[in-house]
Amino acid sequence: MKNASHLNSDLILVFDAGTQSVRCALFDTAGTMVDMIKIPIEPYFVPAPGFHEQHPEYFWRKFCEASQGLLARNQALRENIKAVTLTTQRGVYVNLDQDGKPLRPAIHWLDQRMADTSKFAPFWLEYGLKSIGLYGVVDTLNRKCFSNWIRQHQPDIWEKTHKYVLLSGFFHYQLTGVAAESRGSNFGYIPINRKDFGWAKKNDIIWYAFPMEKDKLPQLVVQGEIIGKVTKQAALETGIPEGIPLAAGSCDKSCEVLGSGTLTPDIGYLSFGTCATVNAVSTKSVDLLPYLPPYPGAVPGTYCTEIPIDRGFWLVSWFKEQFGHQEVQLAAERGVPPEALFEEMIQNIPPGSNGLMLQPY
């Protein structure tokens, strides 16, 4: 029997809903991965130049497909699952109505639309921000805030919005019926207190950059604490046993950093995910640039300072899709990932690639 050695082990079911795939895995409490499944996804569609969207229902279907697939081949272990947790790509926003149904496609983190900021601040605030050199920063944040664009261009959608959540918060609601977000995932163009990743205080200047009704925001749960329990409907759709507790996780990069063992500021972490980043962990909130705050760490009370490059491993996926047909076919015959063949091929390429460069845009 597959994974028979874990028949008496307590297990945790985890999900990683990234930009290119949804992965579902079973881990024992010692951190050993028992089994994992990966479901590729279409990250977005482009309804207009610069617009990147995806239907939340599509993300949920892929989430369920991954869960059903993994649990179907591990039926004997279903009753050993003691908790569920998840991480997702950051910066994907979902408008939910009173019944928890999406009102429009989710806006993707790669989206380039901009809001009109001609009247975003009263004259006295504009003058004050200019006097301290922060007007440009706050104006940029205001333009990039997707909820501002929705308020301006789709006011009916915003009026019907009961909760404005990140993709992780959408999955939390689908699983438990609770509109909640983990503080470990709470980051983006929303009014956040940059010290504890709760909601900003009433007089915080960030409310001018990201103006919205506080009652449209979800409740917040500390990483590791219980958000709710898997509902009967979610159990039918995912195959997860009803009543299993869902624990608050953290955002994708923070989980990567934790998984690498990077826990102190003297260790740097390089990530070659869809978005390539360099991170370090600190117990202090440090802005690398004005109003470029750190992300929440996976461990409560920690911060991930991060510098990103928007194209990372996605370049490998692009290369594979455009030029790697022979390697994809050969990899299928060998029963290995195409990337394993790329690893073999690059062994003979000298450092610096003889000056060949790629501009990742």
Instruction: Identify the CA nearest to 195 among candidates 45, 297, 307, 312.
Output: 297
Domain spans of the chain? 4-250, 254-309, 319-355
The secondary element (H helix, E strand) that includes residue 95 is strand 93-96
pLDDT digits (tens, 9 = 90+) for 240-269: 999 999 999 999 999 999 999 998 999 999
Please say if the pLDDT value at position 291 is more than 70.
Answer: no
What angle separates helix 338-345 from helix 325-334, to the nearest 10 degrees? Answer: 110
Mean pLDDT estimate for the chain: 91
Homologous superfamily of domain range 4-250? ATPase, nucleotide binding domain (3.30.420.40)
Contact 227, 172 (CB under 8 A): yes
| Structure confidence at residue 2 (pLDDT) | 59
Question: What SS3 state is found at 355?
Answer: helix
Structure confidence at residue 160 as a pLDDT band (50, 70, 90) = very high
Return the sign of the alpha-carbon dihedral for residues 209, 215, 218, 220: positive
Lowest mean pLDDT among 10-19, 151-160, 298-307: 298-307
Distance of CA 69 to the CA centre of its chain: 22
Please say if the pLDDT value at position 1 is more than 60.
Answer: no
CB atoms within 10 A of CB 159: 9
pLDDT digits (tens, 9 = 90+) for 178-226: 999 999 999 999 999 988 999 999 888 888 889 999 999 999 999 999 9
